[in-house]
Amino acid sequence: MWMKTRKAVVKYFKFVGPGFMVSVAYIDPGNYATDVAAGATFRFRLLFMILLSNIFAVFLQTLCVKLGTVTGMNLAENCKAHLPPWLNYVLYAFAEAAIIATDIAEVIGTAIALNLLLKVPLVAGCAISILDVLIILIFYNPSGMSMRALRIFEMCVMLLVLGVVVSFCFELSMIRDTSVAEVFQGYLPSKALVTSKGLYQSCGILGATVMPHSLYLGSGIVQSRLRDFDDRHNTSGTPPTTPPTEPIDPTSLLPSSASLTSVLSEKYRPSLAAINACLTYSTLELAISLITFALFVNSAILIVAGSSLSHLPAEEIEAADLFTIHDLLARTLAPVAGTMFALALLLSGTSAGIVCTIAGQMVSEGQLRWTVKPWVRRLITRSISITPSIIIAGAVGREGLGTALEASQVALSVVLPFVSAPLIWFTCRASVMRVWTSDVDDGGDGSGTQGVDGGRVVVLRNHWVTSAVAVVIWGVIVVMNVALLVLLGKRK
């Protein structure tokens, strides 16, 4: 028993890395803005929304891992392979809009952090942010990296995440006169969720947590371990090229469009053995990383803001932003508390910039077949996002940056239903979630299999319960966003 447990733990740690990279997307500067605003306005009462958003994120990310593991393709590549061209391009436009909105938040967050730490002017900080992770991304090439080099890259991202966690552990240790019971009560639903301001901030939290680009990222960073397994065991999941000997529609193995056959034949197809060996551990590692780190950091930001800002007068709460909480922490707790907050913000912006660029790379390569080096992609995306940030910083100043940060996260929430819908659809489809194996006695769940040239096709689509939960979650996200848009329309 002990040996089995030890072997499982050792194997689990070999899979640590992708979950950290996905969790980075959930602790970017946009989260700071929405969580600070929520804490200042409602104290701890929107902690429930952070918990709910993280539950949604874990569930959707497990679907991402499953899609990327079974098909060997990320969400963008599946959109290209299985959707009509017009729909693929529409979804690409939504994905790029989400990535630019995310990058705007990272530009603003980095500029604010540099201003707080080094007194760099906001406009200059926005301009400097174009260089923040270019050097790191020059060395990132997942298709040409060894497993060892990829692990080192993942560890570098993990160190940035751990730096953020340590910073907020320090912040929480400095809080005084706050009841633990009151904090945990915030994880229960409250009427604050249905108020106009509460719904706006809840949608901001949802968009900042279940970020659209993270779905592409989660489906695209699991293949390296699958490929490593197949390389070491000399296995392959490529379906046979000869016609099947038993009645079966060969187009069910691949996309129905004949023009896509050559595209998919170039892609790596994991073997059933690799899927069985990696899927559970990849899913577990990602879920644990999100629950322990993303949930902790987002909760910590809101708790620190709620305990520090909620007692301020109403007009000051309305204007509360990252500058406000930094100044208050430095003045009421200790100067180092403000410094640690700004340092955590800078680390979050840097790490989020890395994974946002990787996700953007997956989107452009997968849906447009447009291949560029990661640092070139970073330069293009950030150049687009820097322009409005500099205009806002120069014309409106810190107040405008805070508003833009929060609004960017609400925009991500609005885009989320469009990006998550194909993810749910693909993982429910037997024609997509199939893998061929040459061994008729190989493992798997045995559902929906048919003989093919001495082997078989194993169907790994969602169970109907999983599909039902996915549809319910998608429906909740849609209802929240429709209600938000209606309220925003009434304001005008």
Query: Does 420 map to a domain?
Result: yes
- pTM value? 0.85
- Domain limits for position 399: 1-236+269-439+458-490
Q: At what angle do helices 85-118 and 335-368 cross, to 10 degrees?
A: 160
**Is 120 inside any structural domain?**
yes
Q: If we measure between CA atoms, which residue out of 157, 209, 156, 140 comes closest to residue 361?
A: 140
pLDDT, position 292: 86
Which of 7-21, 89-103, 376-390 bottoms out in mean pLDDT, i.e. has the lowest? 376-390
Query: What average pLDDT does the segment 270-289 reach?
Result: 88
Please give the torsion angle defined by the CA atoms of residues 99, 105, 110 and 111, in that order, rounded to the nearest 10 degrees.
120
Q: What's the CATH number where 216 sits?
A: 1.20.1740.10
In a domain, 259, yes or no: no
Place of tokens 């680390």: 347
Higher pLDDT, 253 or 130: 130
Mean pLDDT, rounded, of the chain? 79
As for how many domains the chain has, the answer is 1
Q: Is residue 245 part of a domain?
A: no
DSSP calls for 253-300: TS-S-GGGHHHHHTS----HHHHHHHHHHHHHHHHHHIIIIIHHHHHH
The string of pLDDT tens digits covering residues 29-71 is 878 878 888 888 888 889 999 999 899 989 999 999 999 999 9
Residue 257 lies in a domain: no
Kindly tell me if the per-residue pLDDT of 255 is higher than 60. no
Measured distance CA(257)–CA(208) in Å, rounded: 36
- Other beta carbons less than 10 A from residue 399's beta carbon: 12
Among 66-70, 360-364, 469-473, 486-490, the range scoring the smallest mean pLDDT is: 486-490
Q: What is the DSSP letter of 361?
A: H
Give the integer Cα–Cα distance in Å for 425 and 467. Answer: 9
Task: Check pLDDT > 90 for residue 149.
Answer: no
Decide: 343 and 162 in contact? Cβ < 8 Å: no
The pLDDT of residue 184 is above 50: yes
* HSE of 263, CA atoms in CB hemisphere, 13 A: 19
Residue 356 lies in a domain: yes
What is the 8-class DSSP label of residue 456?
A: E
Identify the helix (H) or strand (E) that includes residue 240.
none
Buried b (16+ CB within 10 A) or exposed e, 171-182: bbebbeebeeee
| Band of residue 245 on the pLDDT scale cut at 50, 70, 90 | very low
**Between these two residues, 80 and 153, which has the higher pLDDT value?**
80
- The predicted pLDDT at position 78 comes to 94
Cβ-contact 416, 477 below 8 angstroms: yes
Model pLDDT for residues 309-366, shown as the tens digit of each residue: 777 777 766 667 788 888 888 887 778 888 888 888 888 887 887 788 788 888 888 8
Q: Residue 84 falls within a domain, yes or no?
A: yes
Please give the backbone phi and psi of residue 190, each rounded to the nearest 5 degrees, phi first.
Answer: -140, 165
Q: How many C-beta atoms surround the C-beta of residue 267 within 10 A?
A: 13
The alpha carbon of 159 is separated from its chain's Cα centroid by a whole number of angstroms, namely 18
Task: Please check whether residue 355 lies inside any domain of the structure.
Answer: yes
Q: Which residues contact 241 (CB under 8 A, 6 or more apart)?
A: none
CA distance 370 to 355: 18
pLDDT classification of 26: cutoffs 50, 70, 90: confident
Mean pLDDT of 272-292: 88
pLDDT top residue among 471 and 155: 471
pLDDT score recorded for residue 437: 77
